[in-house]
Amino acid sequence: MNLNLSAAAPEIVLLCALFGVLLADLWTSDENRYITHYLSIGSMLAAAFTQIAVWTGQPAQAFNGFYLVDGVSQLAKLTVYLGTAALFVYAKPYNKAQKMFKGEYYTLAMFAATGMSVMISSAHFLTAYIGLELLSLSLYAMIALRRDSVQASEAALKYFVLGALASGILLYGISMVYGASGSLHFAAVAQAAADGHVNGWLLKLGVLFIVAAIAFKFGAVPFHMWVPDVYQGAPTSVAAFIGSMPKIAATVFTFRILVEGFALQKGDWQLVFAALGALSLLVGNLAAIMQTNIKRMFAFSTVSHMGFILLAFLGSVIGLQAAIYYAVAYILMSLAGFGVLMVVSREGKECENIADLAGLNQRNAWYAFVMLLVLFSMAGIPPLMGFYAKFAVLKALVAAQYGWALWLAVFAVVMSLIGAFYYLRVVRTMYFDEKTDDAPLSDSVLLKCVLSVNALLLLVWGILPDSLTEWIRIALEHSF
């Protein structure tokens, strides 16, 4: 049996560190909970450094072909580890104020990061499903961490019920693929389809069910029902996690299953993606305009952004590059945006509504500027990263071989213009409305430094996107 443990070294380091944090937290009092906090940040950074140390330019397999490491998986996992470490920094003041500064938050987030790593490196449907379930089960528990909150419990239950349904749909689709091809390895399914040794209609039906489950994980219309309720009901530090790292995991998960496993069925699932992407842009942007709760606004905004990622898969290699770039950009935007919301929240008062950001520029000009960069980037205003991400997707659509792809690109531009309205409304509230709260904001030096780097990356990678796009291009070249 070919184990090749070095291919899974980052996950092994993360799991060992996670068990260490679990044991340390058992003997840590509430007054010394900062020990768990810094150990958790150290664990994520250790996993990131391990990923860099074992970085390989050539694809490799592990665990008898069930697990693979290539350029895309290494880039995505590094993003997850560094993003989770940054989130831990943002979440500390918020969790302390909301009486959530407990070890469970960190250990569940690290379990979720491990699940995402397994999803990203899966070469087999069973491996992908195990990673997906580890991620999902961790998220269900994280949403319900605030046990005295009815909203959080309701959101966790809704997500659990709908998530279980999506998992069942995925399993049903996987069983059809196995029945059609006789294998669950992505490469073997693709080879069987290429050789014509498959039941064509059964395989198409299996692909349809798998696409539906993937659309749920993205939060695409019409599988988006859980997104606004979970964002609003979950604690902001948990909503920040749900709204960021899983997006790149879902993007690579889709790449693994559909692009590598069902390349010959591309015409079938790309049509479905075109419909899902267009509906997500339409519903996400129109629904966001009507929101006064900023977390629900971000939720519907997420739906529209996921529509862009789905449309990127209609392109060829350019589209895949655009999808991964967009996922990285959205992680940076989401982390910084929720980071500011956590800073503005305080004990007894959460930053829930757009009105809670009134006069933020008068309270702290730097935090207002960070949020300005985030909102402008989400709206696709140059020279920020969000603009180039949308431009890359539009470029991939125009270059696609489908005649209707050009009309989709025009539709996406119109929806982006509509979306700019609700982002600019928040900017107006921050800069032109009178402040309604004089409570001091967090003065943590580490938080300010990490948040500043996060926001400035949106500007730097927007002005100089080639530094990241070239890395993504090379990663795709060094993939299976």
50-62 pLDDT, tens digit each: 999 988 878 788 7
Average of per-residue pLDDT values in the chain = 87
CA distance 83 to 77: 10
* Cβ(21)–Cβ(441) below 8 Å: no
The pTM score is 0.93
What are the residues whose beta carbons fall under 8 Å from the beta carbon of 212, sequence distance 6 or more? 166, 169, 173, 223
Per the listing, tokens 């059809």 go with 176
What are the residues whose beta carbons fall under 8 Å from the beta carbon of 39, sequence distance 6 or more? 17, 20, 21, 24
Q: Please tell me which residue, 273 or 302, carries the higher pLDDT value.
A: 302
Tell me the mean pLDDT in the region 408-431.
91
Tell me the mean pLDDT in the region 411-440.
87
Residue 102 is part of which domain span? 5-478
Residue 263: per-residue pLDDT:
62
What amino acid is encoded at 151 in this protein? Q
3-state secondary structure 89-147: HHHHHHHHHCCCCCHHHHHHHHHHHHHHHHHHCECEHHHHHHHHHHHHHHHHHHHCCCC
* Cβ(84)–Cβ(113) below 8 Å: yes
Residue 67: per-residue pLDDT:
87
Scored b (16 or more CB within 10 A) or e, 245-260 reads bbbbbbbbbbbbbbbb
CA distance 325 to 337: 18
Q: How many independent structural domains does the chain possess? A: 1
Over the stretch 100-134, which tens digit does the pLDDT of each residue have?
Answer: 888 899 999 999 999 999 999 988 889 999 999 99
Residue 319: per-residue pLDDT:
82
- Provide the total of helices (H) and of strands (E) in the chain, helices listed first: 20, 2
- Is it the case that residue 264 has pLDDT exceeding 70? no
- Is it the case that residue 5 has pLDDT exceeding 80? no
- Is it the case that residue 479 has pLDDT exceeding 80? no
Nearest one of 295, 449, 445, 416 to 357, comparing CA atoms: 295
Share of the chain above pLDDT 70, in %: 96
CA distance 396 to 229: 33
Q: In sequence order, what are the beta bridge partners of 185?
A: 124
Per the listing, tokens 């967090």 go with 442
Q: Sorting pLDDT into bands at 50, 70 and 90, what band is 99?
A: confident
CA distance 251 to 186: 16
Neighbours of 126 (CB within 10 A): 12
Residue 2: per-residue pLDDT:
63
Q: In sequence order, what are the beta bridge partners of 124?
A: 185
How is residue 169 written in tokens? Answer: 């749909």
Query: Rounded to 5 degrees, what angle do the CA atoms 476, 451, 468 make?
Result: 20
* Cβ(315)–Cβ(447) below 8 Å: no
